[in-house]
């Protein structure tokens, strides 16, 4: 379960891992287990967050040994805070039953490369995640973009132009650091967006969503609604990513060997 959680999320802090994978285990015991996995080469420790928390992620060894078709193994310092906040955002949305499934950016990127070639991964827009939600009794797909710092207008126009043709999406949800970013994105939207059949462009403030995921505002142009009024919350399901018993046994034996 742990390796699949890390493969899917990309990275998680020690406390997030404890909460999701080992809820009834002392944090010191969880940390000891993580150190064993790190020493065995299955996971990597990532430092550099402003909070000084440790992040953990899978390694290429894990990806190759256990057949992960995609895994995030590189963590440039420039996007470390973004990746950590994104993991927190996803966990919160899943935990409150808003996101009923989530496809992470690295899995989307791998799928695009497999179907259309590696070059397309740099040309096509690839969101931070695509979540499945319920809206008025229907299952819909929403692209999530965590935007903590501004891009230039040319890049926003390119992104929105690409999104405007993705009719399978209900919306592109920008979870932003400040309302200044909303104005910049809306400026690009006015000159590039296709029209009524295009996905809706929604905005929420990241601090509001993390503080109160059900009651935070979702804004479309000048209208706003609570998240729970737009996306119908459903009981959160246990993660579907479960490591097979054989893999667990193999890991346990190697951990014992390094202890």
Contact 159, 187 (CB under 8 A): no
The closest alpha carbon to 12, from 78, 58, 69, belongs to 58
Neighbours of 87 (CB within 10 A): 20
The CATH label, of 3.40.50.300, 1.10.10.10, 1.10.3720.10, 3.30.450.40, for the domain at 1-75+239-259 is 1.10.10.10
Q: Which helix (H) or strand (E) element contains residue 174?
A: strand 171-176
d(CA 216, CA 105): 24
Residue 241 has pLDDT above 60, yes or no: no
Domain boundaries, the chain: 1-75+239-259, 97-235
d(CA 130, CA 107): 10
Q: What is the pLDDT of residues 34-89, one digit of tens each?
A: 999 999 999 999 999 999 999 999 999 999 998 888 889 999 999 999 999 999 99
Q: Which helix (H) or strand (E) holds 134?
A: strand 129-135
pLDDT value at residue 114: 81
CA distance 217 to 234: 18
pLDDT at position 21, please? 93
Question: For 74, left (φ over 0), alpha (ψ -120 to 50), or beta?
Answer: beta
Q: Write down the residue that tokens 């992470």 correspond to.
A: 104
**φ, ψ for residue 131, nearest 5 deg:** -110, 150
Q: What is the pLDDT of residues 74-120, one digit of tens each?
A: 999 999 999 999 999 999 999 999 999 999 999 998 888 888 777 76
**Nearest to residue 228, comparing CAs of 31, 34, 93?**
93
In this predicted structure, the answer to whether residue 214 has a pLDDT above a threshold of 80 is yes
175, 213 contact by CB (below 8 A): no
Q: Which residues pair with 224 in a beta bridge?
A: 219
Q: How confident is the model at residue 236 (pLDDT cuts 50, 70, 90)?
A: low
Q: Is residue 259 over pLDDT 80?
A: no
Q: In terms of DSSP bridges, do strands 43-46 and 171-176 run parallel, antiparallel, or are they unpaired?
A: unpaired
Nearest to residue 9, comparing CAs of 48, 56, 41, 46?
Answer: 56
Residue at token pair 């990309």: 10
At 158-207, the pLDDT tens digits run 999 999 988 899 999 999 999 999 999 999 998 887 666 789 999 999 99
Q: For residue 227, give the nearest of 149, 91, 133, 86 by alpha carbon.
A: 133
Would the pTM of this model clear 0.85, i.e. be above it? Answer: yes
Q: How many CB atoms lie within 10 A of CB 85?
A: 17
pLDDT band at 253 (very low <50, low <70, confident <90, very high): very low
- Look at the block and give the residue holding tokens 């000048």: 222
pLDDT for position 197 = 72
Query: How confident is the model at residue 237, as a pLDDT?
Result: 54
The confidence score (pLDDT) of residue 110 equals: 87
22 backbone dihedrals φ, ψ, rounded to 5°: -135, 60
């Amino acid at each position: 379960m742990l390796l699949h959680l890390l493969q899917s999320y990309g990275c998680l802090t020690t406390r997030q891992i404890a909460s999701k994978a080992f809820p009834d285990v002392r944090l010191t015991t969880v940390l000891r287990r993580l150190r064993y996995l790190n020493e065995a080469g299955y996971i990597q420790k990532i430092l550099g967050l402003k909070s000084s928390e440790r992040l953990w992620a899978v390694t290429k060894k894990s990806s190759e040994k256990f057949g992960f078709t995609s895994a995030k193994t590189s963590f440039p310092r420039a996007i470390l805070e973004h990746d950590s906040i994104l993991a927190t955002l996803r966990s919160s949305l899943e935990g409150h039953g808003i996101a009923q499934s989530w496809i992470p950016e690295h899995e989307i990127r791998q799928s695009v490369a497999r179907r259309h070639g590696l070059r397309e991964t740099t040309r096509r827009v690839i969101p931070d995640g695509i979540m499945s939600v319920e809206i008025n009794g229907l299952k819909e797909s929403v692209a999530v973009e965590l935007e903590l710092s501004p891009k230039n207008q040319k890049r926003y126009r390119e992104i929105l132009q690409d999104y405007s043709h993705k009719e399978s999406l209900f919306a592109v949800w920008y979870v932003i650091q400040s309302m200044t970013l909303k104005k910049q994105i809306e400026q690009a939207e006015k000159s590039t967006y296709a029209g009524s059949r295009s996905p809706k462009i929604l905005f929420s403030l990241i601090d509001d969503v993390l503080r109160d995921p059900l009651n935070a505002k979702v804004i479309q142009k000048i209208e706003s609604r609570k998240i729970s009024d737009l996306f119908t919350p459903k009981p959160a399901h246990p993660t579907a990513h479960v490591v097979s018993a054989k893999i667990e046994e193999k890991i346990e034996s190697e951990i014992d060997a390094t202890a």
